[in-house]
Amino acid sequence: MKFKLFILGALLSSCSDDFLTKVPETVVSAADFYKTESDFQQAIVGLYNPLRTLYGTGLADAGAWSMGEMRSDNTTFSFNAGNRGYADREYVDLFTDDANSGATSNKYNNNYIIIGRANQVLRTIDAAAFDETQKNNFKGQALFLRAFCYFDLVQYYGDVPLALIPPTSFEQTSLPRSPKADVYKQIIADATLAASLLPDPSKQIKGYVANGAAYALLGNVHLVLKQWTEAENALTKVQGYSLMSDYAAVFDPNNKNNVESIFEVQYLDEPTAGSASNFAYNFLPILADPGVIPGFPSGNTNSYAGWNTPTPDLINIYDQSDKRKAASIGFYNGEGYTNRPYIKKFTHGAKIAPNTNDNWPVYRYAEVLLMLAEAQNEQGKATALANLNAVHAHSRTGLAPIASTGQAELRELILKERQIELAFENKRWLDLVRSGKAVAIMNAQGAKIRANPEAYYYPKGISPVSGSYTVTESKLLFPIPQRELRLNPDIEQNPGY
C-alpha cells in the first residue's frame, strides 16, 4: 500500500508544474506584450493617458493650473468658508505649500508615470518587427513625451532623477537627482530626435503630436535656457499651423485639435469612459446650482469649486477694446456674488454634470509666434515686432498693431502679450520665474490682497492666513513630494521647504 501511495505521489509531482501554474485570465502579461504594431499603438495611447490627470481631472484634485496659474498673479481662489475641506489647494496660491501638497505630488507623479511608460516603449520598440514609418512615429511620440515631462519637472523642481530605462530589479528603482544641466541635455537630445522622427502635422492623426510639437518644445527649452539662436531655429521649423480667426473658437470643444493647436490634452465626455474633463466646474464660482451658468445642466452644488479665479489685476490689464477679454473671463451676478469673475475660456457647459468636453491647450501656434518674437528680440532682430503683432493685432483681437519700439520695452510687451493671449494656460508662473520677476511681483501681490481681501474674493472679516505670500527665491521651485523623500534617502528637499 505504501508502494502504491508512492506511485501516486510520483505521478502527481510529475505534473505538478502544470497543476501549480495559474496565469491571470483577465489581463495580458507584460511578457506577452510590446511585440507588435498594435501593441505599440496601444502603448502610445497609454502614454498620453496620465496627461489628463496631470492637467486636471477630478473635482477635488489640483491640476497643473494650480502650480502654473494660481501660484502667479493671474489667478487666486474664492475663499470657501462653508467647506474648508479643500484648503490644501489654497496653499500653492498662498505660498504656504509644503511637501505634502496634493498639487506637487500630482505633477511629480504623473510626469514620472509618463516617463516610465515612455522608457518601456523605447526599451522594447527596436526589437519589434513592423513598419519603419510607424515605428518612427511611435518612437517620436514617446521621445517627445519623455522630453516634455522632464522639461515640466526640471522647471518646477530643479534637479530631478533622470530615469531613461525601465528598472528590472528592486535595486534599480532608486535614483539620485541629476543636475539640471544633464536633464536639459537629455531633453534637448530627445526633443531633437523626436522632431526628426515625427511626421508633419498633415500626416499625423489629429490628437497625436507631430513634428511641430517637438520643434515648439525644443524652442521653448532653448528660450528658458536663453539660447536665443537655437530657440529661433527650432521655432521657425514649426510649420503647418495657423491662427484661428476667432479667439474663443480656439478653445471650443467643437474645434478640438484645430489648425492653431500643436499639442493639447485630450478629454472626451463619453459618459461611460471616465475620460471627461471637469476643470471648468472647478473654475466656476461656488453655486447652489451650476445650471445658472449657460450651457451647464442643473444639478448639485459645486461646493468644491471657486478655484483659479482671475484677479482684478489681470482683468485690468486688458485693453478695453481687446476682444479676448470677453472670450477669456466671465462674470457672474447672483447668489450673493457681484461681478464675480471666472475663467470663461474653458467654460463650454456640459451634457451631464460634472463631465465637460474641454481639452487643455498646451502648445498652440500663437505661443510659437510669441516665443519666436522673444527669441528674435533678444537677438535684437527687427522681425520680432512683426511676430508679436501677428498675435497682438490679429483681426480676432480687435487691437491696433504695436508701433516700432526698443528692445527692452518690446521684451515687456511680449511678456504682457503672453499674459493676455495665454491667460489660464499655465504659462504665467513660469514666465514670471524665467523673467526674474516672480519674487517682486508676488510679494507685491500678497500686499495687495492683504490690504483688501474682499477684492480678492475673501468673505468680509476673513483675510489670508498669517505667513502667506512670503515669497523668496527658494519659492521659485516647488517641494519634492514627501513620499519620494521617504523612499529615497539620496534625495534632499529643495531649500526653503
Partner 1 sequence: MKTNVYSISIRFLSQALVIVLFSCVQLLAQTNISGTVTDDKKIPMPGATVTVKGTTTGVTTDVNGKYAISSDANAILSFSFIGYKVQEVAVAGRSVINVELDAQSQNLDDVVIVAYGSQSKHNVTGAVQTVNQKELKDIPASQLTQKLQGKLAGVQINQTTGIPGQGMSVRIRGQASISAGSEPLYVVDGFPITGNIANINPDEIETISVLKDASSTSLYGSRAANGVVIVTTKRAKAGTSTISVSAYTGIQQIPQKGRPDMMNATEFAQFKKEVAIENGQTVPDIFQNPEQYGEGTNWYDAVTRSASIQNYSVSFNSSKDKFSTSVVAGYFKQNGVLLNSDYSRYSLRINTDYKFNDKVKVGFNAAPTFSSNHTPQSDGIWYNSPSIVQSSLLTSPLAPYKNADGSIPLNTNGYGTADGPNWYNQVQVVKNKARNSGLLANGFIEIEPINGLTYKSSINIDLGNSVSDYFYPSTAGNVFNAPNESDVSRINASHGNSLGYSWLWENTLSYQKSIGEHQFDILGGYTSQTAHSETGSFSATGFPDNKVQTFNAAKTITGGTDIQDWTLLSYVGRVNYNFKQKYILSAAIRRDGSSKFGVDKRWGNFPSVSAGWIISDEAFMSNIKAVSFLKLRASYGVIGNNNVGNYTQYASVVATNNPVGNQYVSGKSIAGLNNTALGWENTKELDLGVDINFLNNRINFGYDYYHKTTDALLYTVDIPISSGFFNFATNIGKLAFWGHEFTLSSQNLRGNLTWNTDFNISFNKNKALALGTANAAIFGDNTITEVGKPLGQLYALEWLGVYKDQADFDSSPRYAGAEVGTVKFKDVNGDGIVTNDDRDKTVVGNSAPKAIFGITNSFTYKNFDLSIVGAGAFGNKIINVSERFTTNLDGTFNVLKGVSQRWRSEEDPGAGIYGKSKANTTGYERDWSSSKFIYNANYFTIKNITLGYQVGLKENKYIHGLRVYTSIQHAFVFTKYPGGNPEVSAAGGLFSGSDYTTYPVPRTFTLGINFNL
- Which residues within the stretch 206-225 sit at the binding site for partner 1 (CB under 8 A)? 206-208
Least separation in angstroms between CB 17 and partner 1: 8
| Residue 491 CB, nearest approach to partner 1 (Å) | 8
Q: How far is the CB of 207 from partner 1 (least distance, A)?
A: 4
- Tell me: does residue 189 bind partner 1 (CB under 8 A): no
Q: Is 127 in the site for partner 1 (CB under 8 A)?
A: no
Q: Looking at 35, 37, 59, 116, which residue binds partner 1 (CB under 8 A)?
A: 116
Which member of 125, 142, 143, 163 binds partner 1 (CB under 8 A)? 163
Q: Write down the least CB distance from residue 495 to partner 1, Å.
A: 13
Helical pair 132-157 and 102-124, crossing angle rounded to 10 deg? 150
Q: Does 77 bind partner 1 (CB under 8 A)?
A: no
69 in Cβ contact with 428 (< 8 Å): yes
Could you say whether residue 248 binds partner 1 (CB under 8 A)?
no
Q: How far is the CB of 438 from partner 1 (least distance, A)?
A: 19
Dihedral of alpha carbons 63, 67, 71, 74, sign: negative
Q: Does 239 bind partner 1 (CB under 8 A)?
A: no
Q: How many residues does the chain have?
A: 497
Smallest gap from Cβ 219 to partner 1, in A, equals 25
Give the CA distances from residue 462 to residues 85, 332, 449, 454, in Å, rounded to whole numbers and listed in that order: 17, 22, 11, 8
| Binders of partner 1 in range 440-459 (CB under 8 A) | 459
Binding mask 354-383 for partner 1 (x = CB under 8 A): ------------------------------
337 contacts partner 1 (rule: CB under 8 A): no
Contacts of 327 (CB under 8 A, 6+ apart): 247, 248, 251, 344, 345
Nearer to partner 1, 149 or 375 (CB): 149
* Range 338-357, binding partner 1 (CB under 8 A): 352-353
CB of 20 to partner 1, least distance (A): 5
Residue 29 found at the interface with partner 1 (CB under 8 A): yes
The cell for 253 is 470643444
Burial of residue 13 (number of CB atoms within 10 Å: 0-12, 13-18, 19+):
exposed
- CA dihedral angle for residue 92, residue 97, residue 99, residue 105, rounded to 10 degrees: -20
Secondary structure of residue 351 in the 3-state scheme: strand
- Determine the distance from the C-alpha atom of residue 133 to the mean position of all C-alpha atoms in its chain, rounded to a whole number: 29
Strands 329-334 and 75-76: unpaired
Q: Does 81 bind partner 1 (CB under 8 A)?
A: yes
Given candidates 35, 37, 59, 96, which one binds partner 1 under the rule CB under 8 A? 96
Footprint of partner 1 on residues 190-209 (CB under 8 A)? 205-208
Count how many Cα atoms sit within 13 Å of the Cα of residue 99 in the half-sphere of its side chain: 14
Q: Is 119 in the site for partner 1 (CB under 8 A)?
A: yes
Among 55, 65, 77, 112, binds partner 1 (CB under 8 A): 112
Q: How many CA atoms lie within 13 A of 261 on its CB side?
A: 24
DSSP classification of residue 271: T
Q: Which three cell numbers stand for residue 66?
A: 494650480
Contact by Cβ (8 Å): 417, 388: yes
Per CB under 8 A, contacts with partner 1 among 458-477 are 459-463, 465-468
Q: Interaction with partner 1 in 262-281: which residues (CB under 8 A)?
A: 266-268, 270-273, 275
Q: Note if the bond before 354 is cis, omega within 30 degrees.
A: yes
Q: Does 336 bind partner 1 (CB under 8 A)?
A: no
Query: In the set 136, 186, 233, 303, which binds partner 1 (CB under 8 A)?
Result: 303
Nearer to partner 1, 271 or 401 (CB): 271
CB of 142 to partner 1, least distance (A): 12
Alpha-carbon gap, residue 420 to 328, rounded angstroms: 9
DSSP letter for 263, please: E
Q: How far is the CB of 43 from partner 1 (least distance, A)?
A: 6
Binding flag, residue 120, partner 1 (CB under 8 A)? yes
State the SS3 of 128-152: CCCCHHHHHHHHHHHHHHHHHHHHH
Least separation, in Å, of the C-beta of 327 and partner 1? Answer: 23
The nearest distance, CB 243 to partner 1, in angstroms, is 20
